Amino acid sequence: FDMFVLAFAERLFRPTFRKDDFVLGKKLGEGAFGVVCKASLANPEAAEKVKANGVMQGDVVVKKATEYGAVEIWMNERVRRACASSCADFLYGFRESKSKGKGAEEYWLIWRFEGEDTLYDLMQSKEFPYNVETKILGDVQDLPKGIARENKIIQTVMRQLLFALDGLHSTGIVHRDIKPQNVIFSEGSRTFKIIDLGAAADLRVGINYIPKEFLLDPRYAAPEQYIMSTQTPSAPSVPVATTLSPVLWQLNLPDRFDIYSLGLIFLQMAFPSLRTDSNLIQFNRQLKRCDYDLEAWRNLVEPRANAELRRGFDIMDLDDGIGWELLTSMVRYKARQRISAKAALAHPYFNREGLLGLSVMQ
Ligand code: ADP
Ligand code: MG
């Protein structure tokens, strides 16, 4: 059976939405390509339709996007069918004629409201990572605070994010904008999920499109930056379809772009001092000067490390440095030398028995 026929049928029989179904509330984000708001359902019929889409109650998130929203709808539909648990629950996407401005079209995307906090919000708190432990377990552990306990929590977050990323990559999707702001904590499933497929590429089916290179966040981008750029014209007006065989995927390893970004998140979780924007930018400069060799960076900064930096190295050095080993296999200059999401999940960093029982949470 043709997958496109199935996808079309599945979408056809799902209840559809219109913009009148939603009452827009608090603004959650705004970028060059659209605005994101929390929204409630305008009437009981809309609430029924949401239920039919698998969301039992509560608010939704609405993204009003420019023409690039069409690609983002495609990506979300694909995730919904292939690896739903990796990302925020997507309900529906549709096109609307804009209220102001003649002829302009905008795309509306609707998700379940997963929760208030992104990983970025949680990392800004002095309580991190203990504020995450409470969220994941619903309770605090009766164990002394310290690096071993913090390491367990970071391990759990990393496992969840690698699991989500492996889902996307196995589906043939590269996210390209992995950063703490694009990771949401789902209060329902008590796990971290990936959001914002606005820069994603579906290479297996052939949708490979970067609206503008500056979409890539330079703070988290791997050095190669423009993955598959030879096949992507700089600014086309419609999405460009290219075909990439699994063989080419193997050759170019575009998924390793996301792995680098996730490696930087790992680093920020372990090193409190690298959680601010300015310090992350400074770190990137230092790493570049070290030719993207983390070991060289360590040799550069460790001798004059302050207490906070020291603490980061101490966390990474636990269990014979198995965390540091995983980190250095993610943050590498050459994409092909970076570990894949699937291989990272099997890394010995995750094999140790979880002291807090955290290891039973996927
Ligand atoms: P953009 O970065 O293009 O503005 P995002 O999709 O990243 O759009 O959404 C912007 C912000 O909205 C996120 O950083 C997050 O705070 C919030 N958000 C997005 N999707 C959800 C969701 N499903 N549940 C809760 N909050 C969300
Ligand atoms: Mg975003």
Nearest of 246, 239, 254 to residue 204 by alpha carbon = 246
With a CB cutoff of 8 Å and minimum separation 6, the contacts of 48 are: 15
| Band of pLDDT at residue 207, cut at 50, 70 and 90 | low
pLDDT of res. 235 = 38
- Determine which one of 177, 196, 202, 255 is catalytic: 177
Angle at the Cα of 318 (from 353 to 136), degrees rounded to 5?
50
Kindly report which listed range (63-77, 117-131, 171-185) carries the lowest average pLDDT score: 63-77
What share of the chain in percent tops pLDDT 70?
84
Among the atoms of ligand 1, which is closest to the Cα of residue 112? 23
pLDDT of res. 99 = 64
Mean pLDDT (the chain) is: 86
**140 pLDDT higher than 80:** no
**116 pLDDT higher than 70:** yes
Cα–Cα dist 288/337, whole Å: 17
| C-alpha 29 to ligand 1 mean position (Å) | 6
Query: Does the C-beta of 185 come closer than 6 Å to ligand 1?
Result: no
Query: Does the C-beta of 195 come closer than 6 Å to ligand 1?
Result: yes
What residue type is 230 in one-letter code? T
**76 pLDDT higher than 70:** yes
- Annotated active-site residue 177? The verdict is yes
Residue 111: its H or E element? strand 105-112
Q: Which ligand is nearest to the CA of 220?
A: 2
Query: Does the C-beta of 326 come closer than 6 Å to ligand 1?
Result: no
Q: What is the pTM of this model?
A: 0.90
Q: Which ligand is nearest to the CA of 88?
A: 1
361: Cα within 13 Å, side-chain hemisphere: 23
| C-alpha 196 to ligand 2 mean position (Å) | 5
Cα–Cα dist 337/331, whole Å: 9
Angle at the Cα of 262 (from 336 to 342), degrees rounded to 5?
60
What share of the chain in percent tops pLDDT 90?
65
Sign of CA dihedral 203, 65, 224, 174: negative
Per-residue pLDDT tens digits for 284-316: 999 999 999 999 999 999 999 999 999 999 999
Sign of CA dihedral 3, 6, 8, 14: negative
Cis upstream peptide for 348 (omega within 30°)? no
Residues 104/98, Cβ–Cβ less than 8 Å = yes
Among the atoms of ligand 1, which is closest to the Cα of residue 118? 16
Structure tokens at 229: 């750029």
| C-alpha 31 to ligand 2 mean position (Å) | 8
Higher pLDDT, 345 or 66: 345
Residue 343: its H or E element? helix 341-345
pLDDT of res. 105 = 84
Kindly report which listed range (4-13, 80-89, 141-150) carries the lowest average pLDDT score: 4-13
Structure tokens at 347: 């890394």
pLDDT of res. 80 = 94
pLDDT of res. 355 = 43
